[in-house]
Structure 1
Amino acid sequence: MNDKTLPSRDRAQRFLFEETDIRGEIVQLDATYRDILAIHQYPPGVSSLLGEFMAAAVLLATTLKFEGKLILQARSERQIPLLMVECDSQLQVRGIARGAQEATADNFEQLLGEGQLAITIDPFSGQRYQGIVPLQHSLAASLENYFEQSEQLGTQFWLSASEDSAAGMLLQQLPAQLVTDAAERRAHWEHATTLANTLKDEELLTLAAPEIAHRLYHEDPLRLFEPLPVTFHCSCSRERTLNALASIQTAEIESLLEELGTITMDCEFCNQQYKFVREDLDGFLGDSDPVVH
């Protein structure tokens, strides 16, 4: 395998245990993480937590077998009212922490404790699905609780972020194919997770994925797949912003146009500005005089 095919460590890499039904995934984000942080001036604790959410969203998105996006969203009454990350099936990521500019904490409980975590799967075609679980003492624990309730397959997460990089690892049991004996499956799972628990945050953040897999499982036959690139990309557009304007009452739009001459809308995710004049809005304003309802 030639790691030089990708210009940075912004990638997700899958591995499979050859002799048992367990898969793994490692994601490491450098430029992607820094690109998102550069848009907003978040406090250090918020930035780190956003990095963990980004890594987790990519790990979850790699399990999807359709074209669409996955949205990982946390709401709480603590210092971060809303934290949201989207990752699509091309591993394009964007994220925000709303209302968190004044946050001072650097731990999960004070930043997001006693809230809810929603995982939304939004395919480009087909039905949208959402699962909600309470936030626990960490994002990893909250996600593990979600999988325990919904998938009933062993799933564990290891997540970390520093000032300039974020990373995560996932291990997940697969349906019984290679090993069908329940006791043997439990033993294999305990073996894999026990070794993974020896992984230090610094190793997860700095070592290449193949080296992490080798350090943890050099005595286990593994199949390592080609890495997939992860990038920051905002899906906003002028057309989508115009569609959002169409949901606002006509009288309110008329009032804004009379007062300002133009309507400017900012994308929260990337700070892109979209400006609209009356001619841009004729499609849903009509040509007649405004009528106030």
Structure 2
Amino acid sequence: MGAERSRDASGVATDDIITPFQVDALDLRGRAVRLGPTLDAVLAHHDYPPAVKRVVGEAVALAVLLGSSLKFEGRFILQTQTDGPVDMVVADFVSPDKIRAYARFDKEALAEAETRNATSPAALLGKGHLAMTIDQGLSANRYQGVVALDGSGLEAAAHEYFMQSEQIPTRVRLAVGEEVRPGGAASSWRAGGLIAQFLPQDASRARMADLPGGDAPEGAEPHELAEDDAWVEARSLVGTVEDVELIDRDLSSERLLYRLFHERGVRVFDTLAISAHCSCSRERVSGVLASFTRDERRDMIQDDGKVTVTCEFCGRVYRFAAEEVLGGTQA
């Protein structure tokens, strides 16, 4: 095995990639994501208002950051259900490199939020829960983690998830922006994200304080643990990242990571290209229809004698003749 070779951070900014990195001196590992045309492709299938596009952009960036950690072929599904104007968002990442997403929103509630200037992604999501599902296919059970959304947005919910479920000190940064082009040309959208996790060889260094118990006696002292100095430093450095740095088309992920960690020495690994792709197909939709009872399928038949199904993700329309729908096994 040859010796490692140091080089200058690449100044070539590339969109639609994941850049894994490691800072040995801080026992830190993570990934940076930069999305451009891929995010535009995801959003192109829907006529979302700009504020909703920002919410979807954050969900896509977070799903790519978390889903790209899968070490097997499968899918990572991020889904919110909340009481805000954007009451549901689904981002579906298929490893190693495909993403799709859609959102459901209330037009009247969104308009009312705009009058109050309450259109940040956190405000539009509101309160509810965030579910993150890992699906390894038919050969294994699904794993799902659920965390509350308390009005603080996806970044805060991701921190809470890793604290509660994974017990890994973690920091996540997300940013989304609209790039307005001159001359009335259509605008484009960009998203960026960064996840950094403290993973020392001695696991005791990463211990976190116990979560407060609901049955703790009155006056009980909360459990506290001093944070490891390396994690305190790493967390502080990640906290300095500005939104514009995450989405600046002229700032490469490598240069950003160098800005953050050059004093400690940062290593980057092979990048992974990300693309927008919908996995729907006529066969898949037919399978979904077959899961309904015969009476339910009959009720789906329209006046023209067909059943029409539109994919929520990509907008593709599938039409089935009545005999195709009713020809399945009766339930």
Deviation string, structure 1 residues 8-32 (Cα, Å, up to 9, x no partner): 5101000011234210210011011
Q: Which moved more, 1:182-191 or 1:268-277?
A: 182-191
CA distance in 2, matches of 1:258, 1:27: 44
Is 1:13 the equivalent of 2:19? yes
2:252 corresponds in structure 1 to 208
1:172 corresponds in structure 2 to 197
1:184-223 equivalences in 2 (<5 Å): 186-206=228-248, 207-223=251-267
Q: Which moved more, 1:98-107 or 1:7-16?
A: 98-107
1:93-112 equivalences in 2 (<5 Å): 93-102=99-108, 103-104=110-111, 105=113, 106-112=119-125
CA distance in 1, matches of 2:279, 2:191: 22
Segments of 5+ residues of structure 1 without an aligned counterpart are: 287-292
2:116 corresponds in structure 1 to none
Q: Specify whether residues 258 and 84 from structure 1 end up closer, same or farther in structure 2 by C-alpha distance, changes over 3 A only.
A: closer
What's the offset of the Cα at 1:251?
A: 2.8
1:280 corresponds in structure 2 to 324
What's the offset of the Cα at 1:219?
A: 0.9
Deviation string, structure 1 residues 120-147 (Cα, Å, up to 9, x no partner): 1111231101111110312101110010
Segments of 5+ residues of structure 2 without an aligned counterpart are: 1-6, 114-118, 179-188, 208-224
SS at match of 1:158: strand
What's the offset of the Cα at 1:108?
A: 3.5
What's the offset of the Cα at 1:176?
A: 2.2
Is 1:270 the equivalent of 2:314? yes
SS at match of 2:240: coil
Q: 8 Å contact 1:57–1:86 — kept in the other structure? A: yes
Q: 8 Å contact 1:86–1:94 — kept in the other structure? A: yes
2:92 corresponds in structure 1 to 86
What's the offset of the Cα at 1:91?
A: 2.1
Deviation string, structure 1 residues 221-247 (Cα, Å, up to 9, x no partner): 221001100110111111110011112
1:226 corresponds in structure 2 to 270
1:290 corresponds in structure 2 to none
Q: 8 Å contact 1:42–1:100 — kept in the other structure? A: no
CA distance in 2, matches of 1:17, 1:184: 21
What's the offset of the Cα at 1:276?
A: 1.0
Q: 8 Å contact 1:68–1:123 — kept in the other structure? A: yes
Q: 8 Å contact 2:23–2:261 — kept in the other structure? A: no
What's the offset of the Cα at 1:249?
A: 2.8
The residue type equivalent to 2:315 in the other structure is: N
Q: 8 Å contact 1:43–1:101 — kept in the other structure? A: no
1:144 corresponds in structure 2 to 159
2:211 corresponds in structure 1 to none
Deviation string, structure 1 residues 50-80 (Cα, Å, up to 9, x no partner): 1111110011012222211111111111201
SS at match of 2:19: strand
Q: 8 Å contact 1:69–1:86 — kept in the other structure? A: yes
Given candidates 8, 23, 27, the residue that maps to 2:29 is: 23
**TM-score relative to the length of structure 1:** 0.89
SS at match of 2:127: coil
- Percent of aligned pairs with the same amino acid: 37
SS at match of 1:195: helix
Given candidates 284, 291, 294, the residue that maps to 1:250 is: 294
Q: Specify whether residues 76 and 282 from structure 1 end up closer, same or farther in structure 2 by C-alpha distance, changes over 3 A only.
A: closer
Question: What RMSD, in angstroms, separates the aligned Cα atoms of the two structures?
Answer: 2.7
The residue type equivalent to 1:139 in the other structure is: L
1:73 corresponds in structure 2 to 79
Count of aligned residue pairs for this structure pair? 286
Q: 8 Å contact 1:41–1:101 — kept in the other structure? A: no
Q: Specify whether residues 2 and 262 from structure 1 end up closer, same or farther in structure 2 by C-alpha distance, changes over 3 A only.
A: farther
Q: 8 Å contact 2:26–2:264 — kept in the other structure? A: no
The residue type equivalent to 2:191 in the other structure is: A
Is 1:45 the equivalent of 2:51? yes
CA distance in 1, matches of 2:206, 2:302: 73
What's the offset of the Cα at 1:271?
A: 0.5
Deviation string, structure 1 residues 235-272 (Cα, Å, up to 9, x no partner): 11111100111123323433554732221111010011
